[in-house]
Structure 1
Amino acid sequence: MHLIQQILFILLVGTAIFLFVKKAREIARNVNLGRDEDISDNKDQRWKNMVLLALGQKKMFKRPIPAFLHLAVYAGFIIINIEILEIILDGILGTHRLFLPFLGSLYSFLIGFFEVLAALVLIGCVVFFARRNILHIRRLSMKELNGWPKSDANAILITEVVLMSLLLCMNSADLVLQGRPEMAEHYHATSSFLVSSHLTGLFTGMSSGSLMAFERICWWLHIIGIFAFLNYLPYSKHLHIVLAFPNAYYSKLMPNGEMKNMKEIQNEVLYMMEPDKAPAAIEAAAPMTFGAKDVKDLSWKNLLDAYSCTECGRCTDSCPANMTGKKLSPRKIMMDTRDRAEEVGKNINVNGEFKDDGKTLLNDYISIEELRACTTCQACVDACPVMIDPLSIIMQLRRNLVMEESNAPQEWNMMFGNIENNMAPWKFSPDDRDAWING
C-alpha cells in the first residue's frame, strides 16, 4: 500500500512540475516578444531595489494596515511552504516527519512558528476577502475587475484559507495520534505545536483508524492543493509572487518626471532649430515604426511589467484623471497589455508562428480616449508597490497615434504646426519672439 502511495506521489510531483515549467516557458517567450532593451546599469541600486521593494515591500507601507496584513500573508505563505520540502521527501520515501530525528526540539519550534504564520495568513485572507466583497473598497470594486479578475482574487484567498486550515488540522490530528500507544511506531512524539495543540479537542473522540485516515486525507489534500496552486499561479495575477523580484530589479531608475525620448525625433527638432548642426548625410536609418501599436512594439520590460501586475489598483486609485471620472485606469492598461500578450502567445501555440488576427493592443484593447486622458503626472508609477510603469506603455501608444496615424486632438495639431512653422508653440513670427519684453 505504501509503495502504491509513493508511486502516485512521484507521478503527482512530476506532472505538477512539468505543467508549471511548460507554462513558465510560454510566459518567458511572450515577454521576449517585446523589443530588446538594455537594462544592465547600476547593479548595486537594482539589487537594493529588489530587496527593499520586492522582498521588504517598502512601498506597501504607505498604507500600514493592509501592508502589514499583506506582509503576513506573503511571508507566511512563502515560509510555511518550506515545510513542503519535508512533505515531498516524506511522500517519495514513504516516511513521516523525516526531519524530526535530525532537528529534535528545534523541529517543534519551527512547526509552531509555521503555525503562527498560518494563523496570520488565515486572518489576513479573511480580512482581504471582506474588503473586496463586503466593504467594497473602491479600488477593489472597479468595473475592470468584473468577471475573471474578481473570481481570480477570491479563488486565491479561499484556496489559501483552505490550505492553512488543512495544515493546522493535519498537525492537530497528528498530535492526538502521538498520544495513542498503538500509533507510536509511525507518529513520533513531538512537543505541542503553538496553534494546532488548541484544536486537539475536536479529534480526541475519533477512533485511531478514523483519525489516521483523516490525517492522511489532510496531508494529501494539502500537498495536492499546493501543486494545484503552483500551476494556477501562471494564469493568475498572483504570478507577481514570483515576478515582483525581477521586475523590481529591472525597474526604472530615472527620476520621476524624466521620460525616454526618441533620439531620431530629437535630432529632427535639433536640425530644424539649428540647421548648421545637421550632418551632410543622415547615416542612421529611420526606425520602422514610431511608438507602439501592438505588444511586439513594446519592450520586453513593458511586457514583464504587465505580467507582474498585482491588480491592486493603487495606480488607478492615485490617478488624477481617473479621480475626475475619465476613462483612464492605469491598472486596466497593464491588464489589457497582459491579455493581448497572452492572446498573441496562444496564436503562436496554434500556428507555430504569429498569424495576423486583425487585432492590435491599440484600439482593440486600449482606446484613444483612455490614452488622451493621461496627464503624464507619474502618480501611477510612484504608487506601484512593484515598480510597474504604466506611463511608458501609454506614451508609446500615444506616439504611434500621433506620428504614425496623425491622430491627435485639434489643439495638439495647432501646436505642432506652430512649432514646425514658427519654432514655438504660439502662432506668431519667430522675429517677434522677443517682443514681449518691450514696455
Structure 2
Amino acid sequence: MELFQRILFAIVLGTVGWLIYRRIKLIRDTIRLGQPEDRTDRPSERLGTMLRVAFGQKKMFDRPLVGILHFILYAGFLLINIEVLEIILDGLSGQHRMFAPFFGTVYHYLIDFFEFLAVAVLVVCVIFLIRRNIVRVDRLQAERHRELIGFPSVDGNLILIFEIVLMLAILTMNAADTVLQDMNSAHYTPTGDYMFSQFLKPLFAGWSEGGLIALERGAWWFHILGILGFALYVTHSKHLHIALAFPNTYFARLAPRGKMENMPAITKEVKLMLGMDTATDAPPTEGGSDIPERFGAKDVMDLHWKNLMDAYSCTECGRCTANCPANITGKLLSPRKIMMDTRDRLEDLGRNMQANGGKVVEDGKALLGDYILVEEIMACTTCTACVEACPVLINPLDIILQLRRYKIMDEAQAPGSWNMMFQNMETSQAPWKFSPGDRFNWANNLK
C-alpha cells in the first residue's frame, strides 16, 4: 500500500509539474509576440527596485493597514510553503517528517513558526473576504466596474477561501499527528505538541487509531494536492502576479513615470526637417526602411514585450482605476480594464497558437476595437495617476498612448478639436491660435 501511494504521488507531482511547465511556456511565447525592447541597463538599480517594490511591498504601504495585512498574507503563504519541500520528499520516500531527526528540537520551533504564519494568513484572508463582500470596497465591486463581472469576481473570493481551507488542513494534519504521537503509533515521529494545532486535539479525543491515521493522511493528501492545484491555478489567475511581480518590477522603466517616449521614426523625420544631425539616431527598422509598418499599436503584436508582461502581472486591485480622474467623472476609461483586456487578447492568441502548432493564425480580431474601445483610450488625460498608483509598477498609460497613436496617425481619426490643436501647435507652437510673439501679452498689465 505504501509503495502504491509513493507511485501515485510521483505521478501526481509529475503531471502537475508538466501542466505548469506547459502553461508557463505558453505565457512566455505570448509575451514574446511583443516588439523587442532593451530593459537590461542599470542592473543594480533594477535589482534595488525589485527588492523594494516586489519583495518589500513598498507601494502597498501607501495605505499602512492594508499594506501590513497584504504583507502578512504574501510573506506568510510563501514561507509556509517551505514546509512543502518536506512533504514532497516524504511523499516520494515514504517517510514521515524526515527533517525532524536532522533538526532536533529546532524542528519543533520551525513547525510552531509555520503554524503561527498559517493562523495569521487565515485571519487576514477572513478580513479580506469581509472587505470584499460585507464592507464592499468600491474598487472591488463588479456592479461598479464592468471588467470584474464573471470570473474576476469569483477569482478574488475563491483564492481567499482556498487559502483558508489549506491553512485549516495544515492545522488538522498536525493535530491528528500529535494525537497519534501520544498513542505511540508506529511511523509517527515524536515531536511534541505545536503552538496552535494543540487546541484542536480535543476534537479528536476518543477517535480510534485507524480513524486518526485516515484523518491525518487525508489532511496530508488534501494539503499537498491543494498546494499543487493552487500552483497550477495561479498560472490561469490574476494571482500570477505572485511570481511575475519580481521580473515585472525588475524590468520596469527607470525613467520618470510621467515621461512619454517619442516615436523614433517621427523624431528622425522632425530632425531631418529642422536640418539637425541624425547620425546617432536609431537604426532603420527591419527590412531597411525608416518608415515603420504601422504607427502606434493596433494589436498586441505592435506593443512592446514589457507591455504584455504588464498585462500578465496585473493584480486587478483597481488602485489605478480608483485614482483615474476620467473614471471618477464617469468616463468609460478604466486603466484596470485596459490591462485585463490586453491579457484577454493574449489568452485568445495563446489558444490560437496551441491550435496551430505554435503559430498565430489571423483571426480577424485586434486589441483596439474588439477588446478596447476607442472611447476608452480617448478619455485618458495622460495624468499618470494610474502609473503612480500601481503596486507592481505597471504602466497602462503606455498601452493607451500606443493605441491612440495608431488611431490618430495611422487611421487619421482624431477628434476635430484635437486636429485644431495639432494645427495650432504646428503653426503657432502652442495649443491656442495666436501669434507666438503675442504669447506673453497677458503679463503686460501685471504689477
Q: So what's the TM-score if we normalise by structure 1? A: 0.95
String of CA shifts for 1:246-274, please: whole Å, max 9, x gaps: 001001111132111112212333444x3
Specify the code of the residue in structure 2 equivalent to 1:145: L
Contact kept, 8 Å, 2:265 with 2:290, in 1: the verdict is no
| Corresponding position of 1:321 | 326
String of CA shifts for 1:361-417, please: whole Å, max 9, x gaps: 001111111101111111111111111010110010000010001111111111223
3-state SS of 1:167 partner: helix
Q: Are 1:399 and 2:405 an aligned pair?
A: yes
Choose from 312, 317, 326 the match for 2:317: 312
Following superposition, the deviation at residue 139 of structure 1 comes to: 0.7
| Corresponding position of 1:38 | 38
String of CA shifts for 1:54-73, please: whole Å, max 9, x gaps: 11100000111111111111
3-state SS of 1:434 partner: helix
Q: Are 1:302 and 2:307 an aligned pair?
A: yes
| Corresponding position of 2:370 | 364
| Corresponding position of 1:243 | 244
| Corresponding position of 1:161 | 164
Matches within 5 A, 1:180-195: 180-181=183-184, 183=185, 185-195=186-196
Of the structure 1 ranges 292-301 and 342-351, higher mean CA displacement relative to structure 2 is found in: 342-351
Following superposition, the deviation at residue 421 of structure 1 comes to: 4.7
Unpaired segments ≥5 residues, structure 2: none
Matches within 5 A, 1:155-234: 155-181=158-184, 183=185, 185-234=186-235
Specify the code of the residue in structure 2 equivalent to 1:32: R
3-state SS of 1:311 partner: coil
Choose from 365, 376, 387 the match for 2:393: 387
Specify the code of the residue in structure 1 equivalent to 2:291: A
| Corresponding position of 1:69 | 69
Following superposition, the deviation at residue 191 of structure 1 comes to: 2.7
Of the structure 1 ranges 415-424 and 133-142, higher mean CA displacement relative to structure 2 is found in: 415-424
CA distance in 1 between partners of 2:48 and 2:277 (Å): 42
CA distance in 2 between partners of 1:437 and 1:167 (Å): 72
Contact kept, 8 Å, 2:407 with 2:413, in 1: the verdict is yes
CA distance in 2 between partners of 1:179 and 1:195 (Å): 17
Contact kept, 8 Å, 2:320 with 2:335, in 1: the verdict is yes
| Corresponding position of 1:260 | 261
3-state SS of 2:258 partner: coil
Following superposition, the deviation at residue 277 of structure 1 comes to: 6.2
| Corresponding position of 2:270 | 269
CA distance in 2 between partners of 1:78 and 1:333 (Å): 29
Contact kept, 8 Å, 1:302 with 1:389, in 2: the verdict is yes
3-state SS of 1:385 partner: coil
Choose from 131, 142, 146 the match for 1:143: 146
String of CA shifts for 1:89-109, please: whole Å, max 9, x gaps: 111110000000000110010
| Corresponding position of 2:80 | 80
String of CA shifts for 1:18-53, please: whole Å, max 9, x gaps: 110011000000111100000111111100011111
Q: Are 1:286 and 2:287 an aligned pair?
A: no
Contact kept, 8 Å, 2:429 with 2:436, in 1: the verdict is no
CA distance in 2 between partners of 1:252 and 1:433 (Å): 35
Contact kept, 8 Å, 1:176 with 1:200, in 2: the verdict is yes
Aligned length: 431
Unpaired segments ≥5 residues, structure 1: none
Following superposition, the deviation at residue 424 of structure 1 comes to: 4.7
CA distance in 1 between partners of 2:410 and 2:171 (Å): 60
CA distance in 1 between partners of 2:147 and 2:79 (Å): 32
Residues 1:214 and 1:344: Cα distance change in structure 2 (over 3 Å)? same
Residues 1:197 and 1:357: Cα distance change in structure 2 (over 3 Å)? same
Residues 1:229 and 1:436: Cα distance change in structure 2 (over 3 Å)? closer
CA distance in 2 between partners of 1:343 and 1:144 (Å): 17
CA distance in 2 between partners of 1:380 and 1:433 (Å): 34
Root-mean-square deviation over aligned CA pairs: 1.7
CA distance in 1 between partners of 2:324 and 2:112 (Å): 43
String of CA shifts for 1:138-187, please: whole Å, max 9, x gaps: 01112211100011111111110111000000001111110003x0x311
Contact kept, 8 Å, 1:105 with 1:191, in 2: the verdict is no
Following superposition, the deviation at residue 418 of structure 1 comes to: 3.0
